[in-house]
């Protein structure tokens, strides 16, 4: 799929996602049943795992801690092959800094994994992390399927002034976001190569 056509698809899905925030209980329900891809896509850009990954994160769709003061983010999307086939039962393992910019190095606060459904869709509810020294705002993600780690990368937020100062930032890894009050709907589709 060309960059242009993918962007068009995502924009359409986001419009539905924004409406979902106000009304429907689950943004994931607003995702189309099947992705609309025209061509073979580029694999999602890989990035360094960084020093804060911890193996063994709990499986859970909601990472929000009680009393969290940060903006709530509903992150959804597909895990797809380069040929645009959904990858079912893929693991999306997310970890990120908390609202003060700190990682939990002892437990699993703001660490968790979800599985894609039979249509390749994933959904996780978390917070917008704070920035920490030297970095713009970001999530860390590992994507695995069939027991194989397929992708390690990071996701970025649009319109962050620090994106311009962070040498790791890549615009290809920007999430598509729409804000609704204190919440944010974010969308990112991972394109992986199962032959890795």
User: Which residue ranges make up the site for Fe ion (CB under 5 A)?
Assistant: 50
Q: Which tokens belong to 98? A: 């908390």
Q: Which tokens belong to 44? A: 């999602």
Mapped onto helix, strand or coil, the DSSP state of residue 79 is strand
CA dihedral of 91, 175, 187, 113, whole degrees rounded to 10: 20
Cβ proximity to Fe ion: between 82 and 138 the closer is: 138
Q: How far is the CB of 157 from Fe ion (least distance, A)?
A: 13
Mapped onto helix, strand or coil, the DSSP state of residue 165 is coil
What is the rounded distance in angstroms from the CA atom of residue 79 to the CA atom of residue 144? 10
Q: How far is the CB of 40 from Fe ion (least distance, A)?
A: 31
Contacts of 167 (CB under 8 A, 6+ apart): none
Cβ proximity to Fe ion: between 66 and 167 the closer is: 167
Contact 84, 119 (CB under 8 A): no
Nearest residue relative to Fe ion (C-beta): 50
Q: How far is the CB of 139 from Fe ion (least distance, A)?
A: 8
Cβ proximity to Fe ion: between 50 and 61 the closer is: 50
Q: How far is the CB of 154 from Fe ion (least distance, A)?
A: 7
Q: How far is the CB of 28 from Fe ion (least distance, A)?
A: 25
Q: How far is the CB of 132 from Fe ion (least distance, A)?
A: 7
Cβ proximity to Fe ion: between 82 and 113 the closer is: 113
3-state percent breakdown (helix, strand, coil) of the chain, nearest 5: 15, 30, 55
Q: What angle do CA 88, 47, 4 make, to 5 degrees?
A: 70
Cβ proximity to Fe ion: between 122 and 169 the closer is: 169
Cβ proximity to Fe ion: between 18 and 50 the closer is: 50
Q: Which DSSP state fits 170? A: -
Residue 52 CB neighbours (<10 A) = 15
């Amino acid at each position: 799929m060309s960059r242009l056509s993918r962007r068009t698809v995502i924009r359409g899905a986001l419009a539905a996602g924004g409406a979902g925030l106000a009304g429907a209980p689950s943004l994931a329900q607003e995702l189309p049943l099947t992705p609309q891809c025209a061509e073979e896509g580029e694999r999602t850009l890989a990035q360094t795992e960084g020093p804060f990954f911890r193996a063994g994160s709990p499986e859970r769709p909601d990472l929000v801690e009680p009393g969290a003061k940060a903006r709530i983010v509903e992150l959804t999307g597909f895990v797809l092959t380069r040929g645009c086939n959904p990858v079912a039962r893929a693991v999306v393992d997310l970890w990120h800094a908390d609202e003060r910019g700190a990682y939990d190095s002892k437990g699993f606060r703001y660490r968790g994994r979800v599985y894609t459904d039979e249509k390749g869709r994933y959904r996780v509810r978390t917070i917008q992390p704070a920035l920490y020294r030297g970095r713009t705002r970001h999530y860390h993600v590992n994507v695995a399927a069939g027991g194989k780690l397929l992708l390690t990368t990071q996701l970025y937020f649009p319109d962050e002034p620090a994106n311009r100062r962070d040498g790791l930032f890549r615009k290809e890894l920007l999430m598509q976001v729409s804000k609704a009050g204190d919440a944010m709907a974010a969308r990112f589709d991972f394109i992986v190569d199962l032959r890795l």
